[in-house]
Structure 1
């Protein structure tokens, strides 16, 4: 049983879906305890089962109620292992696991900062089980430095990409054209398309890119179209702030918020370059790996897990964090490189991620981690 706040969108959520499918394929029962979300349909289509409950809450009384619900579910379904993927639900999941004597695993999906002892204690719930999974070496180093746990209790399993989904050969031109029409891009638009895929939240760096685009336009450049594809998840204030910055810079035709996208493989094929201008380090950065799987070079902020997945000058570029001038230069460089050279970089990135970041490999390593924990308990 995996426990995650919700199944809306994101890397942790996608990993949950992938592992659930792998459990089903291996002949097991895959339960996911979650509030719900748009990815539930895919979970159930893959053979997984939804256990809907308000595990996203941080209310202590509701968390206790969740623990009781999970205890009942563990006993009813004879759950053999509990896997938490976020801190708040990890408390309920850990209590339930202890109450039933069930092995507990947690994946450290993010680099959680702690400015106080209380926050460090809160974060450490992810390390109190049988095994901790880090989604990159960057995350692993952080966990060791922050929590001082036994390194033998920690394993690195990078997130994986579903190459049955993210493969240029499997995306029809009709899908790309449907997206082009939906986003209002003319078939004969010659501009280089630059895609930022991610939630509309401040840490994703949209405002840095708007400022960078303003600088490019001030230099007389009109050869780019920047697309922000992502859900605001209720952050309407930030979405309005980004749109206001676009309008004030006179960039309404050059920078567009296109909203949530259900067909990211087609989105990456529609784009020429993908960008990941995060203001805080990504622990892994799936949005830097998936476009490479689709043969697209990536420009990313030079910190966090993306320094492991983007090879400077070969599969993309690493750029200064929150530095609009540096980002303007990086995007201009990618545009000026030309379509042919970008294709060469994209092909190099595609080969590399297929070798290193397979979803099948991630799932196999996760199931092996489960077996390791179960064997140690036996």
Structure 2
């Protein structure tokens, strides 16, 4: 098979990671893998792993992007992929128009993946106009069936995102060097019960809830400490400052540590005693929650979206009613009073995701 995946850019994020994972799986099975994007820092890795990258400015939500329809059509005609797999709305629209100009007999098969709960409108509907529409969780299947009646249920295929269990092994512990360096950088973390809130600094991730939780718990548990793992975009500097002011005004400066953007997320998840998932909006999948559970760290999160699907299968005692702050307090308190065990995770593997996706490609070609 020859498969061409299209996405805006190759910098970082779930869509990008998924694209690289499928590209790698295609190459491993002896298929040809092409990726079209505006480029980015992951291109070198993609090419080193055996795929071909074609650079095209298909990343801008602007009318000027329409100039890319003809060059995209030329790329498709030149490379003649069997399958074109779109992973984002601008590339999906450009592909839609590019394919219209190719005679039906020469057109590749079209597959899309719905990675997000996009705003509901005609612009987003394009993601549901493909021969097969991959949804990354049951929550996404429901989002499509509720909002896009044009998409027949039999054309929606749920394929969970997956992680490599070898990269997040059960019972993983950070190295002595890592611990020494961390205690040197953040001495306040030593001998503490650590609550971890991973994710970028945005209003969506539930930092206010964390601050309120720490304020309530620290009166009863002086050894409790919260750590926020994630960077703040320059645009979010004001929000970060606002949070730090709140923390200071509540006298919690020595109870909450911001460690910024990290590439050693596995270490932080394994090092923490409990990981929290407190997003104000449902997440389509919840990869970080899965990574934490995979290494054996309990996760407590709101009962919605993809995180709820993972918790209900892997660690149901971590599920709490959405925005129920008393239930959150009680759940964390229970973990403080009595350490909980997480069983090894046997589902949501990267191999399953790749196998199911490649099988779908083969089925469409039949």
Same-fold call, TM > 0.5?
yes
TM-score, normalisation: structure 1: 0.85
Q: State the partner residue of 2:137.
A: 136
Matched, 1:180 2:166: no
What does the per-residue CA deviation read over 1:29-66, in whole Å, with 9 as the maximum and x for residues that have no partner?
3333334444444433433343334333110222x133
What does the per-residue CA deviation read over 1:322-373, in whole Å, with 9 as the maximum and x for residues that have no partner?
44444333322222223xxx2x2x2x1xx2x3x2211001001011111122
Q: State the partner residue of 2:365.
A: 374
Matched, 1:223 2:223: yes
User: Which of 153, 159, 162 is the equivalent residue of 1:157?
Assistant: 159
User: Which of 350, 356, 364 is the equivalent residue of 1:359?
Assistant: 350
2:6 and 2:86 in contact (8 A); partners too = yes
Q: State the partner residue of 2:253.
A: 252
C-alpha deviation, 1:261, in angstroms: 1.6
C-alpha deviation, 1:204, in angstroms: 1.6
Q: 1:280-359, aligned counterparts within 5 Å? A: 280-311=281-312, 314=315, 316-338=317-339, 342=340, 344=341, 346=342, 348=343, 351=344, 353=345, 355-359=346-350
Gaps of 5+ in 1: none
User: Which of 102, 109, 115 is the equivalent residue of 2:115?
Assistant: 109
2:173 and 2:271 in contact (8 A); partners too = no
Matched, 1:32 2:35: yes
**Secondary structure of 1:310's match?**
helix
2:137 and 2:158 in contact (8 A); partners too = yes
Q: State the partner residue of 2:101.
A: 99
C-alpha deviation, 1:170, in angstroms: 7.1
1:176 and 1:270 in contact (8 A); partners too = no
Q: Which moved more, 1:252-261 or 1:94-103?
A: 94-103
**Secondary structure of 1:305's match?**
helix
Q: State the partner residue of 2:17.
A: 14
2:172 and 2:295 in contact (8 A); partners too = no
What does the per-residue CA deviation read over 1:44-90, in whole Å, with 9 as the maximum and x for residues that have no partner?
3433343334333110222x133333223223333222212222332
The separation in 1 between residues aligned to 2:270 and 2:197, in whole angstroms, is 13
The separation in 2 between residues aligned to 1:267 and 1:323, in whole angstroms, is 26
**Secondary structure of 1:159's match?**
coil
C-alpha deviation, 1:105, in angstroms: 1.0
The separation in 1 between residues aligned to 2:212 and 2:171, in whole angstroms, is 36
The separation in 2 between residues aligned to 1:313 and 1:170, in whole angstroms, is 17
Query: In the superposition, relative to structure 1, how do residues 171 and 34 fare at CA in structure 2: closer, same or farther (>3 Å)?
Result: farther
Query: In the superposition, relative to structure 1, how do residues 169 and 280 fare at CA in structure 2: closer, same or farther (>3 Å)?
Result: closer
Q: State the partner residue of 1:47.
A: 50
TM-score, normalisation: structure 2: 0.88
The separation in 2 between residues aligned to 1:251 and 1:147, in whole angstroms, is 46
C-alpha deviation, 1:289, in angstroms: 0.9
Q: State the partner residue of 2:240.
A: 239
1:213 and 1:328 in contact (8 A); partners too = no
Query: In the superposition, relative to structure 1, how do residues 89 and 241 fare at CA in structure 2: closer, same or farther (>3 Å)?
Result: farther
The separation in 2 between residues aligned to 1:361 and 1:220, in whole angstroms, is 44
C-alpha deviation, 1:185, in angstroms: 4.2
2:172 and 2:296 in contact (8 A); partners too = no
1:276 and 1:298 in contact (8 A); partners too = yes
